[in-house]
Amino acid sequence: KAGVTQTPRYLIKTRGQQVTLSCSPISGHRSVSWYQQTPGQGLQFLFEYFSETQRNKGNFPGRFSGRQFSNSRSEMNVSTLELGDSALYLCASSLEPGRVAFFGQGTRLTVV
Amino acid sequence: GESVGLHLPTLSVQEGDNSIINCAYSNSASDYFIWYKQESGKGPQFIIDIRSNMDKRQGQRVTVLLNKTVKHLSLQIAATQPGDSAVYFCAENKGGTASKLTFGTGTRLQVTL
């Protein structure tokens, strides 16, 4: 069974631009969560989706948004990029909320 | 200005020895705990989990111990191998059916030959 797939793996964007990251969960998993990982803040929860609904949101500005599609695939969007948004963005999927979460390889975003 | 990264504690262990990685969690309401391993350039990899109604759980070469009285979690790795070198994170789920995990700062495990 394929693991969590995140695309693209690497991305370089300019300040002020926006970016969309994609996540395909493990087949059969219906819950998707997103995390941001930086050297300064560690791993921080962004949001969680289940059945196309956002169930939880972390303490991030409104520039960070996401959505989930009917096939459980998820995207996250960051608008008006700032240098501080440079990070590894990780997607995790689980069968349902509260079950063990499996992570993808992440998307490394660099904002210049 | 220069950004300061989180200071990762480092545990150096000789190959073949047992490793013990510790973690203090913050919320007494947390009912689910997970250990992840993260190698350089990769996403966190699930190792083992434990629910708050248990105090010990064993997997292949790994054991997790949970002490709810002092809010402490530990991961024991038996017969540590070079492939175990990585950063290890504990994570807690603060109850309910949410998948929101709160991660610790991590511990770097270095296995020496």
What domains can be seen in chain B, in order of their start residue?
A: 10-112 (2.60.40.10)
Provide the pLDDT for residue B39: 96
- The whole-number average pLDDT for the span B54-81 is 96
CB contact under 8 A, B103 and A101: no
**Does B6 score more than 70 pLDDT?**
no
* Nearest C-alpha neighbor of B92 from the set B20, B29, B7: B29
Cβ contacts below 8 Å, chain A against chain B, sum to: 74
**Does A6 score more than 80 pLDDT?**
yes
**Does B74 score more than 70 pLDDT?**
yes
**pLDDT tens track for B75-91:** 999 999 999 999 999 99
Q: Classify burial at A24, counting beta carbons within 10 Å of its beta carbon; exposed 0-12, middle 13-18, buried 19 or more.
A: buried
B44 CB within 8 Å of a chain A CB: yes
**Does B1 score more than 50 pLDDT?**
no
Residue partners of B2: CB distance under 8 A and separation at least 6: none
**Does B2 score more than 60 pLDDT?**
no
